[in-house]
């Protein structure tokens, strides 16, 4: 899979190859060289600097190669350079705060984090190595370095932001009554899918082939060339295939977020685009929905509390980061004003 290449060039001048000093000195002196884009500092505070190259690398690192291939544009899901810059600035501010507070993340904590992923997904070490490659990490050591940094950041955020979040029982009760028809009913969707599992070990070429295959099956389903159920029986890669892709009824909170967000947004009878989960690709279809009595009131309230907490955390985070930016006196230069050599 071709990677997006940053448009940064090192300036290397070889006078012998550019011109003959003896024959063309006067001409060279009069010549106005074309502008050459070079790397530069975009933001700085204290001893910390962020360069244009750093921004491009962060934007590329945030890219989901599977999503890019699904969309047909390998760079189409690349986060904007401004978003990448904001992320880098915030990360450096948080890590600087961690150093100030003496907060550290240990190798043992990373071990526990990785083991929790293995346990949750019932993966072997080989499964884990394959999964992180799908996320853009070449080696397990690269993921571990990333995880250590994220664990460090989470400790700081828990202390500095989490302690500010307040969600009262009354807030939860009001939202619960509002979202669940007076606290009595939940919404279920009847979900069908055609599943294309990721191979245990696959390279970029295998991934492209899988996506192209799944796209063709989806086109057949959307155009009604063949019934969805027949396609699921023939091409589905899990236990729902013999049942025509019928995976049953689901309320919110029972599916992976990527699948749930799409499933509950579909209209009855509508077929989704390809959706990526941790285990493969899915074509989703919701055939009907219904109101059912809430199976577990406390679980539903816990879900409401979690959603409200996430919203409040995001608000408090923005306030905290803004105060950090102000107190650190960070200088950020516009990304659209590249430095050139004339």
Give the pLDDT mean for 315-332.
92
Contacts of residue 137, defined as CB under 8 A and 6 or more positions apart, other chains included, come to 143, 146
**pLDDT at res. 36:** 46
- C-alpha span between 201 and 259 (Å, rounded): 23
Identify the residue whose tokens are 């962020």: 50
**pLDDT at res. 38:** 63
- What CATH number corresponds to the domain at position 154? 1.10.4030.10
Range in 76-80, 191-195, 326-330 with the lowest mean pLDDT: 76-80
Q: Are residues 193 and 66 part of one domain?
A: no
Q: Which two tokens stand for residue 327?
A: 């107190």
Q: Are residues 210 and 105 part of one domain?
A: no
Q: Where are the beta strands (DSSP E) in 13-131?
A: 36-37, 41-45, 48-51
**pLDDT at res. 78:** 52
Q: Are residues 283 and 189 part of one domain?
A: yes
Give the pLDDT mean for 109-128.
89
Phi, psi of 209 (to 5 degrees): -60, -40
* Range of the structural domain that residue 135 is part of: 15-163+315-328
Reported confidence tier of residue 16, pLDDT bands at 50, 70, 90: very low
**pLDDT at res. 9:** 25
Q: Does the pLDDT value for residue 27 go beyond 50?
A: no
Q: Cα 317 to the chain's mean position, in Å? A: 19
- What CATH number corresponds to the domain at position 201? 3.10.50.40
- Total domains present in the chain: 2
Q: Closest Cα to residue 125, out of 136, 147, 138, 140?
A: 140
Is residue 329 within 8 Å of residue 45, measured between CB atoms? Answer: yes
Give the pLDDT mean for 295-314.
94
Q: Does the pLDDT value for residue 79 go beyond 70?
A: no
Q: Where are the beta strands (DSSP E) in 12-138?
A: 36-37, 41-45, 48-51
Q: Are residues 43 and 119 part of one domain?
A: yes
Q: Closest Cα to residue 172, out of 316, 317, 309?
A: 309
Q: Which two tokens stand for residue 326?
A: 């102000």
Q: Are residues 232 and 141 part of one domain?
A: no
- C-alpha span between 8 and 60 (Å, rounded): 14
Which residue did the predictor score with more confidence, 279 or 196?
196
């Amino acid at each position: 899979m071709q990677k997006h290449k940053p448009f940064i060039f090192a300036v290397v001048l070889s006078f012998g190859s550019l011109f003959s000093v003896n024959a063309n000195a006067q001409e060279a002196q009069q010549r106005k060289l074309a502008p050459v884009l070079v790397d530069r500092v975009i933001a700085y505070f204290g001893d910390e600097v962020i360069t244009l190259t750093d921004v491009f690398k962060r934007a590329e690192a945030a890219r989901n190669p599977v999503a890019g291939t699904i969309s047909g544009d390998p760079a189409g899901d690349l986060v904007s350079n401004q978003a990448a810059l904001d992320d880098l600035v915030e990360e450096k501010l948080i890590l600087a705060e961690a150093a100030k507070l003496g907060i550290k993340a240990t190798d043992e904590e990373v071990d526990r984090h990785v083991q929790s992923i293995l346990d949750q997904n019932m993966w072997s070490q080989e499964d884990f190595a394959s999964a992180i490659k799908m996320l853009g990490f070449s080696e397990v050591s690269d993921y571990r370095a990333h995880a250590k940094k994220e664990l460090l950041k989470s400790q700081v955020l828990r202390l500095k932001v989490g302690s500010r979040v307040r969600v009262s029982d009354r807030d939860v009760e009001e939202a619960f009554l509002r979202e669940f028809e007076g606290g009595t009913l939940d919404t279920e969707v009847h979900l069908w899918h055609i599943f294309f599992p990721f191979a245990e070990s696959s390279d970029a070429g295998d991934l492209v082939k899988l996506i192209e295959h799944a796209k063709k099956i989806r086109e057949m389903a959307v155009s009604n060339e063949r019934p969805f159920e027949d396609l699921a029986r023939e091409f589905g890669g899990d236990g729902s295939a013999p049942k025509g892709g019928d995976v049953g009824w689901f309320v919110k909170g029972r599916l992976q977020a990527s699948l749930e967000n799409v499933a509950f947004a579909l209209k009855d009878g509508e077929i989704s685009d390809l959706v990526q989960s941790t285990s493969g690709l899915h074509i989703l279809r919701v055939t009907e929905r219904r109101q059912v009595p809430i199976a577990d009131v406390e679980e539903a309230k816990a879900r409401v509390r979690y959603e409200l907490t996430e919203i409040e955390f995001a608000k408090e985070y923005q306030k905290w980061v803004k105060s950090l930016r102000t107190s650190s006196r960070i200088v950020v230069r516009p990304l659209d004003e590249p430095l050139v050599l004339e």
